[in-house]
Structure 1
Amino acid sequence: MIYDCAIIGGGPAGLNAALMLGRARRSVALIDNNRPRNAVTHASHGFITRDGATPGEFRRIAYEEVLRYPSVEHVRTEVVSVAKIGSGFAMLDASGFRIQARKLVLATGVKEIFPEIEGFYPLYGKSLFNCPFCDGWELRDQPLVLVSEYSNVFHTAKLLLNWGNDLIVCTNGQANLSGEHKERLQAKGAVVNEQPVAAFIGRDGRLEQVRFADGTQVARSGGFVTPRFVPSAPFGELLGCELTELGGVRTDSGGRTSVPGLYAAGDASYFAPSQVVFAAAEGSRTAMGVHMDLTDEDF
């Protein structure tokens, strides 16, 4: 069988693309390895009617809705290679199982590369996070820490001061804050510490102390650590897609990449802001582009 469209990735972008294509009576292979990036998160926020839903609950409801449409098939596997075959695409998993489709949507998302700081991962998703818009409300009015090695540290710190004014801004040894920016943050009550962060100290998922390279410690109950984002899968680049400055797959308003018949949606294309509602909207937009292109070809 050759599907109208294959979608690699069962996150919000891939799920919403499958929903819209199912409603358009398109045959769809929704390929998902069941390893969502937000699995460690206690809840998803910012999506109306689903604010506070756990990632597992969100996926359960989404799959129930998507698979009501008989032309959508959930393929539980991990794609290891993708090739352009004529005007379509062929995908293989590790066992050699082959899936063919006229169109392909990459909804593979991104993965986060965090600084190597002792004690981070037991606290991540519980009291340490990466997105202020996703989790700032839950940490409001608490003593917070921001750790960022990147040039957006000043912008992120400004945002966090809206959720509380007890903030330590850590550059983890990087010279990414100008003198003017340091002065402006300090004028707002923030403390700037440019030492490397040696460890996060906590228990049962709750941050208690941040230890710096000189051995000093400061009490904190939560915070944010800025990761570097990289593609979760290399398929876009391997297929010859034009990339954005951040490394995402460049798309037009219909999710189309520079490779005919290939589309990208969600974090795979724009990288940030990394929120469920943005990814789902991207999936919907891309599905409309796929459906319109298939219609034009067949009319």
Structure 2
Amino acid sequence: MIYDCAIIGGGPAGLNAALVLGRARRSIALIDSNRPRNAVTHASHGFITRDGVTPAEFRRIAYEEVGRYPSVEHLQTEVVSIGKIESGFEVHDSSGLRVQARKLILATGVKEIFPEIEGLYPLYGKSLFNCPYCDGWELRDQPLVVVSEFPSVFHTAKLLLNWSKDLVVCTNGQASLSDDQKKRLQSKGIVVMEQPISAFVGQNGKLEYVRFADGTQVLRSGGFVAPKLVQSAPFGEHLGCERNELGGIRTDESGRTSIPGLYSAGDASYFMPSQLIFAAASGSRTATSVNMDLTEEDFE
């Protein structure tokens, strides 16, 4: 059997793409390894009618809805390679299964690489986060720390003033801020600390203080740590997709990549902002493009 479309990734982008294409009566293979990036998150926010939903509940509802459409087949397996064939694409999984499809959507998302700071992971998803729009409300008016080794830390600090005026900005030993930027932040009462961080200290998921390599300690109850984002899967690169300036898979406004018949949706293509509602919308848009292209091919 050759599916109309195979979708790699069962996050909000892949699931919404499967929903739209299932409703369009397209035969779909939705392939997912069930290892969501936001599994450690207690709740997801900013998605109307789903504000505060746990990632597990979101996936349960989504798979239940997608499963109502008989032309969508969910394959819980790990993809190891994808090849281009005459009829479209062939997907290989770790057990030797081969899935062929006319079109392919990469909704594989990204993975986060955090700075190696002791104590980060026990606190991550509880009092330390990476997205102010996702978790800023829960940390409002608290003494917060912002940790970033990237030039974007200046923008993040300005943004976080909407949620708290008590901010300490840390660059973890990197020269991420210009002298002018440091002065501008300090003029707003924001403390800037550029020395390396040795540890986040807290218990039961609650941050208590940040310890620096020079022995300095700063009391904080929560904050945001900026990760480096990289592709979760190498398939776009292996298939020869062009990259955008952020390192995501370059697409047109409809999700089409530089490879005919290959599409990308969600974080894999644009990297930021990393929110459920953006990814789901991207999946819907891309699925519409897939259906349109299949319709034109079949009609001709």
* TM-score range normalised by the length of the shorter chain: over 0.9
Q: Name 1:9's counterpart in structure 2.
A: 9
Contact 1:82 1:89 in 2 (8 A): yes
Q: Name 2:141's counterpart in structure 1.
A: 141
Amino acid of the residue matched to residue 8 of structure 1? I
Amino acid of the residue matched to residue 227 of structure 1? P
Contact 1:87 1:261 in 2 (8 A): no
Q: Name 1:222's counterpart in structure 2.
A: 222
Q: Name 2:286's counterpart in structure 1.
A: 286
Report the Cα distance in structure 2 between the residues aligned to 1:249 and 1:87, rounded to whole angstroms: 23
Report the Cα distance in structure 1 between the residues aligned to 2:126 and 2:164, rounded to whole angstroms: 18
Report the Cα distance in structure 1 between the residues aligned to 2:87 and 2:248, rounded to whole angstroms: 23
Report the Cα distance in structure 1 between the residues aligned to 2:90 and 2:72, rounded to whole angstroms: 18
Q: Name 1:255's counterpart in structure 2.
A: 255
- Which TM-score applies when normalising by structure 2? 0.99
What number of residue pairs does the alignment pair up? 299
Q: Name 1:99's counterpart in structure 2.
A: 99
Give SS of 2:82's match: strand
- Aligned identity (percent) is 79
Amino acid of the residue matched to residue 149 of structure 2? E
Structure 1 position 87, deviation (Å) = 3.7
Contact 2:88 2:261 in 1 (8 A): yes
1:21-36 alignment to 2 at 5 Å? 21-36=21-36
For each residue in 1:229-281, what CA deviation from the matched residue of structure 2 results, as whole angstroms up to 9, or x when unmatched?
00000100110111111111111122110100000000010000100000000
Q: Name 1:118's counterpart in structure 2.
A: 118
Structure 1 position 155, deviation (Å) = 0.2
Report the Cα distance in structure 2 between the residues aligned to 1:253 and 1:225, rounded to whole angstroms: 30
Structure 1 position 227, deviation (Å) = 0.5
Contact 1:39 1:55 in 2 (8 A): yes
For each residue in 1:129-160, what CA deviation from the matched residue of structure 2 results, as whole angstroms up to 9, or x when unmatched?
00011100000000000000001010000001
Which aligned segments of 4 or more residues in structure 1 are displaced greater than 3 angstroms?
A: none
Root mean square deviation, CA, Å? 0.6
Report the Cα distance in structure 1 between the residues aligned to 2:123 and 2:71, rounded to whole angstroms: 41
Q: Name 2:276's counterpart in structure 1.
A: 276
- Which TM-score applies when normalising by structure 1? 0.99
Segments of structure 2 that go 5 or more residues without pairing to the other structure are none
Segments of structure 1 that go 5 or more residues without pairing to the other structure are none
Amino acid of the residue matched to residue 207 of structure 1? L
Give SS of 1:69's match: coil
For each residue in 1:113-144, what CA deviation from the matched residue of structure 2 results, as whole angstroms up to 9, or x when unmatched?
00000000010000000001110000000000
For each residue in 1:30-73, what CA deviation from the matched residue of structure 2 results, as whole angstroms up to 9, or x when unmatched?
00100000000010000000000000010000111111011001
Contact 2:87 2:101 in 1 (8 A): no
